[in-house]
Amino acid sequence: MLNRLRSYIPMLDWGRDYNRTAFQNDMIAAVIVTIMLIPQSLAYALLAGLPPEAGLYASILPIILYAIFGTSRALAVGPVAVVSLMTAAAVGQVAEQGTAGYAVAALTLAVLSGGILLAMGLLKLGFLANFLSHPVIAGFITASGVLIAVSQLKHILGVEAHGHSLPEMLSTLVGNIPDVNPITLVIGVTATGFLFWVRKGLKPFLIARGMKPRAADITQKAGPVAAVVVTTLAVWGLDLAGRGVAIVGEVPQSLPPFTMPGLSLDLVSALFIPALLISIIGFVESISVAQTLAAKKRQRIDPDQELIGLGAANIGAGFTGGYPVTGGFARSVVNFDAGAETPAAGAFTAMGLAFAALALTPLIFFLPKATLAATIIVAVLSLVDFSILTKTWTYAKADFVAVAATILLTLGLGVEAGVSAGVILSIGLHLYKTSKPHVAEVGLVPGTQHFRNILRHKVETHPEVVTLRIDESLYFANARFLEDLVQDRVTADSPVKHVVLMCSAVNEIDMSALESLEAVNERLRSMDVKLHMSEVKGPVTDRLKRSHFLDELTGEVFLSQYDAWRALTGAKPDPALRAAQ
């Protein structure tokens, strides 16, 4: 009973061995991540079209809930750029930004996403993430990074702009160029340049001047805070808000409130599909980061329990004034590099953010939105990687087409169309590739018991025996392909008397494929050709025994392909092989 409880509440497992050393390491990591998260949370709330405090609220209870239910010891949960953009796109379709309905819709979206993730976890559906092609996801994230960066240019320029696709954003930005606020532009460009330098050049600069690497790393992580402090003081001291510089303004000085999502059927139905897409993308991003970091310490991540942890985090966000969250790449890497040993580091981070929400919010009244926009731009441009196009073009043209289509649709039609296309293309790509499985005609490598492709190796063949090695499981999408392939091969070669299907790579044969095999068997029977099978795996054989196929098979099922070769060709064992054995 206790073991079962631990599987659903991993905190009961790692908490047993928690000690002072782990506490110290977790606290250090929490301080560093908290410093990083304060400006980042405010910025991502701005990206989602929500008040800045929503970013802080979404980073408190969700982190604590993930620490209780999640399995990663380094994953840092909270608002991320891509999910924030998807939230803005989804909620913007049902409510106007800045209204109470907009905030309620964001809460509803978080709860729906959490419910979907939780249900998938309880039903053990974590494997579904494997159906998403990683090149397609990389293409979607790249396009989203571009959209996010362009969407923030309005804050850098100090103009009004709108739209969820690249053409819409660019057209409104260009149309409002005459209204650019020069002071806002100077703040935005300076902050962006400074943050880029902080990311790439500050740490080497400090180390070169004698600072220890650890201290230099912490100082680098605090770079965005320095930009926030300096620009806020400049706006306050020079009264730049009175000269048209947009500022954050008043932020409630409180802990996350208890909030209720909207429960109307119309709202839930309108947001269900976006919530499903956000859940899928969020889970894929989160599990990828979690598994990468866990592998470095030889730790194990349970995808199904991760779904439960992320589901609980999102439900928590929906009831405490937040919006959809997931595991962020940048903050998780920072958390890992800072020495976090357990999920308790996340809980300590939540405490730090709670203190910020309770005591520090009056200090950001004069924080310019251009600085937050700069924070977002610098963060998301690290996600942009167009090299995925050249990599897929070189490696697999089908992958290139899928990635290129995802990028173009995301940029041209928006994130929802892009992620929908990504999901459809990933599944379509899988079906396309498996619908035409690699089937090789093989022959015996002289002096061995191995069989290889006759087009790649010098092998022995027999005019009356054709052996086809099937390199894929057989199911409805490729059943007819094999049927036609066998028909064409035998029809073109009249001496053939035996066809052997070498099934060493076949893990499953579904009902459609079974019917095709029955059709092949009957068709070959009418041509006076026998159908045989070799190296059939145990589970596949067990499934075939439930049908009449093996009873009606014109040939035999051989344990190995070498046994089939000897039986059908009358070949005697190689003396050299017998001596070696």
Q: What is the pLDDT of residue 6?
A: 61
Phi, psi of 505 (to 5 degrees): -105, 5
Residue 226, H or E segment: helix 223-237
* End residue of a domain, out of 429, 462, 490: 429
189 and 312 share one domain: yes
Distance CA 478, CA 432 (A): 9
33 and 150 share one domain: yes
Contact criterion met (CB below 8 Å) for 59 and 353: yes
417 and 465 share one domain: no
248 and 389 share one domain: yes
User: What amino acid occupies position 16?
Assistant: R
Distance CA 240, CA 565 (A): 86
Q: Report if residue 522 sits inside a domain.
A: yes
SS3 letters across 366-431: CCEHHHHHHHHHHHHHCCCCCHHHHHHHHHCHHHHHHHHHHHHHHHHHCHHHHHHHHHHHHHHHHH
Q: What is the pLDDT of residue 8?
A: 66
Task: State the residue range of the domain holding 509.
Answer: 439-574
The answer to whether the Cα torsion of 432, 433, 435, 441 is positive or negative is: positive
367 and 499 share one domain: no
393 and 464 share one domain: no
Helix, strand, or coil (residue 132): coil
Q: Report if residue 579 sits inside a domain.
A: no
Q: What is the pLDDT of residue 1?
A: 54
Q: Report if residue 9 sits inside a domain.
A: no
Q: What is the pLDDT of residue 3?
A: 59
Which residues have CB under 8 Å from 46's CB, separation 6+? 52, 55, 155, 369, 372, 373, 376
Distance CA 282, CA 304 (A): 14
Q: Report if residue 15 sits inside a domain.
A: no
Number of domains the chain is built from: 2
Q: Report if residue 68 sits inside a domain.
A: yes
Distance CA 469, CA 440 (A): 5
The residue whose two tokens read 């962020």 is 328
* End residue of a domain, out of 410, 429, 448: 429
CATH number at residue 481: 3.30.750.24
464 and 403 share one domain: no
Pairing, β 77-78 against β 326-327: antiparallel
Quick one: how far is CA 74 from the chain centroid? 17
Length of the chain: 581
Q: What is the pLDDT of residue 450?
A: 93
* End residue of a domain, out of 364, 397, 429: 429
540 and 457 share one domain: yes
Which residues have CB under 8 Å from 281's CB, separation 6+? 82, 83, 86, 137, 140, 326, 419
Distance CA 424, CA 418 (A): 10
Q: Report if residue 7 sits inside a domain.
A: no
214 and 65 share one domain: yes
The burial class, CB within 10 Å (0-12 / 13-18 / 19+), for 475 is middle
User: What amino acid occupies position 299?
Assistant: Q
Q: Report if residue 2 sits inside a domain.
A: no
Burial call 144-175: b when 16+ CB within 10 Å, e when fewer:
bbbbbbbbbbbbbbbbebebbbbebbeeebee
273 and 415 share one domain: yes
237 and 352 share one domain: yes
Q: What is the pLDDT of residue 139?
A: 86
Contact criterion met (CB below 8 Å) for 301 and 291: yes
Q: Report if residue 461 sits inside a domain.
A: yes
List per-block mean pLDDT (blocks of 10 residues) for the chain, which spans 581 residues: 63 73 84 82 89 92 91 86 89 87 94 95 81 78 87 88 84 88 93 89 86 81 83 92 88 90 91 91 84 75 89 95 88 76 86 89 88 86 85 86 88 82 79 84 92 93 93 88 89 84 93 93 93 95 92 94 91 54 44
In sequence order, which ranges of 9-128 are alpha helices (DSSP H)? 11-14, 20-47, 52-57, 61-69, 81-91, 100-122
493 and 364 share one domain: no
